[in-house]
Amino acid sequence: MRTNGTGHLKTGLQMGLLAMLTLCVSLLGEGAQAQTAPQTMAALPTANAGLTTGAEARPILAWTEFCQSYPAECAFDRAEPARIALTPAIWSSIVSINRRVNRTIDPVTDQEHWGRPDRWDLAEDGRGDCEDFQLLKRRMLAAAGLPRRAMRMTVVIDEKGEGHAVLTLITDRGDYILDNKTSAVLPWAQTGYVFIKREGQDALAWVSLGGASSPVTTANR
């Protein structure tokens, strides 16, 4: 009886070990397949025509004051690329940062925030208006490795006929707009805005955009 019990015990242990080994081999195989499976990357946006810049334009006064307080944010390097070479990974970072900042900053007017009509900063207290959202996005994108020279603060007239600030990304697939009014990163021509002027890429002076109207704006008139 003792001998037979030991035999049954050994047989049971062997079968249990075999089952565990089979399971481990199966899991290892699944893991290897998961590692070798191609990663799904975000699709690049459709290419579009960029904005045409014109003559030099006077910078926004609040921008000039911002540059005195944050000189590193206004410096540019002519050796940097003038365009962002979009890849799926870079596009995903752009979309992610746009959404994150829009979600985390509390919108408040400069008059409510600072008691003055216009002040540009980096929303360091977690509150800000349109330009503060965009300046923070640019800082984060620059920290992620994108060239500042290809990310230009831009003044537009919005759908309400009011002044508004957005961030233009100049890319090899056209000009894309980061905006605190939407989490979508849109081609400039799909924003519904009239484009007035933006930072220049080769000097501290801004450049005129000639009041370029998005076709969306034109169609709605």
179, pLDDT greater than 60: yes
Tokens of 50: 């960029």
The 3-state DSSP class for residue 95 equals helix
| Per-residue pLDDT at 62 | 94
| Per-residue pLDDT at 41 | 54
10-19, 68-77, 181-190, 199-208: range with highest mean pLDDT: 181-190
Is residue 191 within 8 Å of residue 178, measured between CB atoms?
no
Query: Residues 6 or more apart from 6 whose CB is under 8 A from it?
Result: none
| Per-residue pLDDT at 33 | 38
DSSP 148: G
What is the tens place of the pLDDT at every residue in 65-122?
999 999 999 887 888 999 999 999 999 999 999 999 999 999 999 999 999 999 999 9
Is residue 45 within 8 Å of residue 185, measured between CB atoms?
yes
11, pLDDT greater than 70: no
Work out the pLDDT band at 149, boundaries 50, 70, 90: very high
| Per-residue pLDDT at 43 | 84
| Per-residue pLDDT at 216 | 60
Architecture of domain 56-220: Roll (3.10)
DSSP 113: H
Task: Please indicate whether residue 35 or residue 119 has the higher confidence score (pLDDT).
Answer: 119
195, pLDDT greater than 80: yes
| Per-residue pLDDT at 170 | 97
What is the tens place of the pLDDT at every residue in 38-51?
334 568 888 888 99
148, pLDDT greater than 70: yes
Query: Residues 6 or more apart from 49 whose CB is under 8 A from it?
Result: 174, 189
The 3-state DSSP class for residue 54 equals coil
Taking residue 56's Cβ as centre, other Cβ atoms within 10 Å add up to 14
State how far Cα 150 lies from the chain centre: 13
DSSP bridge pairs for 157: 163, 194
d(Cα 209, Cα 198) in Å, to the nearest integer?
Answer: 7
